[in-house]
A and B are shown apart, each in its own frame.
Chain A
Amino acid sequence: MLKIGVPSKGRLMEKTFDWFGSRGITMRQTGNDREYSGAVEGIDGIELVLLSAGEIPRELSAGRIHLGVTGSDLVRDKLADWPAQVTELSPLGFGHADLIIAVPVTWIDVDTLDDLDAAAAAFRAAHGHRLRIATKYHRLVRDFLTRHGVADYQLVDSQGATEGTVKNLTAEAIADITSTGETLRANHLKVLSDALIHQSQAMLYLARSADWSQQTRDTLAALTTRLGLPAPTP
């Protein structure tokens, strides 16, 4: 069986089901709506695995699922050298969000990464510690800031309510996903003009290290034909 991992709840699951459904492949939850089991109809040989979106990158990396749907931000942040581990088969056109850096609106002297870097140097000299940036996207943010030569900062982990960390004095700036910017504005933060770290959206991925038998390869070929995608080579 070819295993496909799909987010187990909420809008991401519904939109994924819609995306496949509009291409003639029906995915549905079986049992009651709290039970994490599902079925695929309209094509043979595929098993639906409902998983937390955050765990799908790890399952792809381990090859325990052949295909998976999750946000491109999660794959790029959680997997080292991600192109070596997974292949992007198709963007799904939903779940759009930008990973950005935001600072307090009253920082009238800061608009770009260049300003952030200079402000970090002055902050460290004045306060005795590096300027803290709260985020859960450690790899993406660190790689981005290194590439742009920003120094004198440190990342602090924040797994939720990241916009509140500045007010709570546990960070001076944040790096987080935003779609409309409303939560940022409500927390008195503004976005840097040149710090778009990643434009994320839901994506269908192929796991390179999954067990690609002749049977699963055939199923994959049938599936991509149905989806109107170019034939991938696992």
Chain B
Amino acid sequence: MTNKAAIRQEAETLFAAFRHAGAQPVEADILQPSETLLDLYGEDIRARAYVTADPLRGEMMLRPDFTLPVVQAHMAHGADPARYCYMGEVFRKQDTPGPRASEYLQVGFELFDRAAPEQADAQVFALFSRLLAPLSLRAATGDIGILMAAVRGLSTSDRRKAALLRHIWRPNRFRALLDRFSGRAPLPAARAALLEHLQQDTPEALITAAGTHVGLRSPADIAARARALIDDAATAPIAAPEAALLYDLLSLQAPARAALGHLRGITPMLPAIAPAVNRFATRLDALDALGIDTATLPFEASHGRTSLEYYDGFVFSFHAADPALPPVASGGRYDALTAVLGQGRSIPAVGGVIRPGLVARLKGVI
């Protein structure tokens, strides 16, 4: 049997297991409109997806994942609640030679359910865990919702909170902003000089003095941000104890039950995270009930922050011992994405994908 045939057989087995778990199979086009993907994922997707030109439909991409078409199909004519599974190739450009494939099969499972999101999280994780159990993989879990709740609860301006939330998936940028907002890093010299200049006159007068205006970003846009910068300069730094809690949260890494204990401990000082911590606790109970040992399940508050920016709650992945290999499976909750694609409607959604190629390799079938 060729490798491809062996991998497809592995995929069929996983696909059958997802169907057995009540999922309805869905198909998706390989050619996806570039514009929607770019809008969702940003310019980075162009470096990762194969872009091609359609004479009538314009720029298209070979599907880099199934999430977009599956969510779109659900929002257009899906039942509520619903569970879906899919199987097919995805395409990712690779810029360096190595073990990462540029074309591989994915088998996925998505659960759309507004009744009990934490139960849904646990069901998806337990299903993946059971299917992958023979491979003795290392599981990793996280919860971006707790981090987001902590940021929303900071006693600082809405503008600063929005800036932090916007960069929650870019750890370096997030850290730099937090360092500045909490006064841990000095105001950069360039910003100080800019502020000094902005204080010389009204933004409108400074814009006129700067020279001829060109471009679509209007003088009103510019003046609005100039005023925002001046306001921001007068904003008090985030209080040290509160900032310390956020730094602590960013580096929290412990078995899930112990992490819950730690989070319960800091909740009185950061009350805004209470609902998110309660959801975390509910999820752990649900996982326990499904036979997952949460006393040993690894948890990292920052897990999943560097992946594509749509997970906004529970996140998980399963890894082989070889660190050069990509995750064998990964997934998470993406409620906000359904709102973006649903044009006013949204539904809580959680799901994940498995790479049957890696499963076959780790089983020694190929």
A binds B: yes
Given A81-B97, A108-B206, A121-B43 contact (CB < 8 Å): no
Which of B211, B216, B219 is the one whose CB lies under 8 Å from A169? Answer: B216
Is residue B226 within 8 Å, beta carbon to beta carbon, of the partner chain?
A: yes
Chain B, 316-349, CB within 8 A of any chain A CB: none
B222 touches A105 (CB 8 A): no
Given A81-B97, A109-B198, A109-B225, A167-B214 contact (CB < 8 Å): yes
Q: How would residues 104 to 140 of chain A score, 1 for a CB under 8 Å from any chain B CB and 0 otherwise?
A: 1111110110110111011100110011000000110
B222 touches A107 (CB 8 A): yes
A122 to B216, CA, bound (A): 13
A126 touches B221 (CB 8 A): yes
A167 to B219, CA, bound (A): 14
Tally chain A residues at the interface, Cβ within 8 Å: 45
Residues of A within 8 A of B42 (CB): 130, 151-154
A interface secondary structure, majority? mixed
B214 touches A109 (CB 8 A): no
Which of B39, B216, B226 is the one whose CB lies under 8 Å from A108? Answer: B226
Chain A, 84-116, CB within 8 A of any chain B CB: 84, 104-109, 111-112, 114-115
Residues of B within 8 A of A107 (CB): 217, 222
Is residue B58 within 8 Å, beta carbon to beta carbon, of the partner chain?
A: no
A106 touches B226 (CB 8 A): no
Interface centre among B163, B215, B216, B226 (most CB of A within 10 A): B215
Residues of A within 8 A of B191 (CB): 111-112, 114
Residues of B within 8 A of A106 (CB): 207, 210-214, 219, 222
Shortest B349–chain A CB gap in Å is 23
A80 touches B222 (CB 8 A): no
B190 touches A112 (CB 8 A): yes
Is residue A194 within 8 Å, beta carbon to beta carbon, of the partner chain?
A: yes
A81 to B198, CA, bound (A): 42
Q: Which residues from chain A sit less than 8 Å from chain B, CB to CB?
A: 80-81, 84, 104-109, 111-112, 114-115, 117-119, 121-123, 126-127, 130-131, 138-139, 142-143, 145-146, 148-149, 151-155, 166-167, 169, 172, 187-189, 193-194
A68 to B173, CA, bound (A): 39
Stretch from B76-84, B164-172, B263-271 that touches the partner: B164-172
Closest to A138 in B: B46
Is residue B158 within 8 Å, beta carbon to beta carbon, of the partner chain?
A: no
Is residue B188 within 8 Å, beta carbon to beta carbon, of the partner chain?
A: yes
Residues of A within 8 A of B116 (CB): none
Residues of B within 8 A of A117 (CB): 173
Given A107-B222, A109-B222, A146-B207 contact (CB < 8 Å): no
Chain B, 196-249, CB within 8 A of any chain A CB: 197-198, 203, 206-207, 210-217, 219, 221-222, 224-226, 228-229
Residues of B within 8 A of A121 (CB): 163, 166
A149 touches B173 (CB 8 A): yes
Residues of B within 8 A of A119 (CB): 217, 221, 225
Is residue B193 within 8 Å, beta carbon to beta carbon, of the partner chain?
A: yes
Residues of A within 8 A of B210 (CB): 105-106, 108
A131 to B222, CA, bound (A): 14
Is residue B16 within 8 Å, beta carbon to beta carbon, of the partner chain?
A: no
Is residue B365 within 8 Å, beta carbon to beta carbon, of the partner chain?
A: no
Is residue B73 within 8 Å, beta carbon to beta carbon, of the partner chain?
A: no
Residues of A within 8 A of B101 (CB): none
A149 to B188, CA, bound (A): 17
Residues of A within 8 A of B229 (CB): 109
Residues of A within 8 A of B307 (CB): none
Shortest B53–chain A CB gap in Å is 12
